[in-house]
Amino acid sequence: MNSKLIAPSVLAADFANLQRDIEMVNTSDADWFHIDIMDGVFVPNISFGMPVLDAISKHAKKTIDVHLMIVDPDRYIKTFADLGSNILTVHYEACTHLHRTLQAIKAHGMKAGVALNPHTNINVLEDTINDIDLVCLMSVNPGFGGQSFIENTYNKVKQLKELITKKGASTKIEIDGGVTNKNAKQLVDAGADVLVAGSYVFKSENQIETIKDLKALANS
C-alpha cells in the first residue's frame, strides 16, 4: 500500500522567517510543499504570487504542489512551470475548457490537479478523471487558512474513490482545509492519499513533531 502524504500549507508560515520555515519542512517527515496562490477574484483574499514562489523554490527540497485559486489559470501555466512547480492544480469552477487546461499543464512537464469547492459535485469529473493526476477536495471554502473542516468531505472522498476505481484511474485524492489529528485517520480510511495542513502545523509548538505525528496517524 502506498504511504499517505503530508503537505504543509505555506500560507500559514511566518513570512518574515520564510527560509526558516521552508528548512523546517525540508527536514521534517512532510512530503510536499503546498502553495496557495489567491487572486482576490476567484476567492475573497490575496495571498502571494510569483516572487514569493520563486524564493520558496530556491530552498524547497521536496515536491512543490501549487494550488491556484485564480480565474483563467491558463494564462500562467508556463510561468508556474518555470518557477519550479511540480504539480499544478486549477479549480474546476475557474476553467471553461478544463480538458484543454489539463493537457497544457502536462505539456509543460507538470502533474495536473483539479480542485473542487465544497459545493461542487464529484460527478463533474466523470469524463476527465483519467486525465487528472490529483483531485484536491476542498474541505473548507477556499480563500483562508484556519477554517473549520466541513464534515460532508468524508462522503465526497468516498464518492471520488469510487469514481477513480470505476474508471481505473490512478488519480490521488488530496484534502485541503481544516485538517488536524482529529480527522486525519478518518480521511485516509475514506480514501485520501494526501493531507494538506496549514494552521495545524505552523501554529503548533513543535512543528517537526506535529508533522511526524500526523504522518504516523495517516499511515496507521
Segment lying near ligand DX5 (by CB under 6 A), choices 22-30, 150-158, 165-173, 190-198: 190-198
Q: Which amino acid is it at 30?
A: A
User: Interface with Zn ion includes 176 (CB under 5 A)?
Assistant: yes
Q: Which three cell numbers stand for residue 72?
A: 483563467
Judged by CB under 6 A, the chain residues 112 through 171 that form the site for ligand DX5 are 140, 142-147
Q: Which of 31, 39, 65, 176 is catalytic?
A: 176
Q: Which three cell numbers stand for residue 193?
A: 492519499
Say if residues 188 and 4 touch (Cβ distance below 8 Å).
yes
- Residue of 4, 9, 70, 112 interacting with ligand DX5 (CB under 6 A): 9
User: Interface with Zn ion includes 91 (CB under 5 A)?
Assistant: no
For CA atoms 52, 54, 56, 59, give the dihedral sign. Answer: negative
Angle in degrees, 0-180, between the axes of helices 207-218 and 18-27, rounded to the nearest 10: 40
Q: How many residues does the chain have?
A: 220
Q: Which of 31, 36, 39, 65 is catalytic?
A: 36
Based on the residue annotation, tell me whether 54 is a catalytic residue of this protein.
no
Q: Would you say 59 is a known binding-site residue? A: no
Name the binder of 197 from Zn ion, ligand DX5, none, CB < 5-8 A by kind.
ligand DX5
The per-residue DSSP string of 196-212 comes to EESHHHHTSS-HHHHHH
Q: Point out the annotated binding site for a divalent metal cation.
A: 34, 36, 67, 176
- Which spans of this chain sit near Zn ion (rule: CB under 5 A)? 36, 67, 176
Binding region for substrate: 9, 67, 143-146, 176-178, 198-199
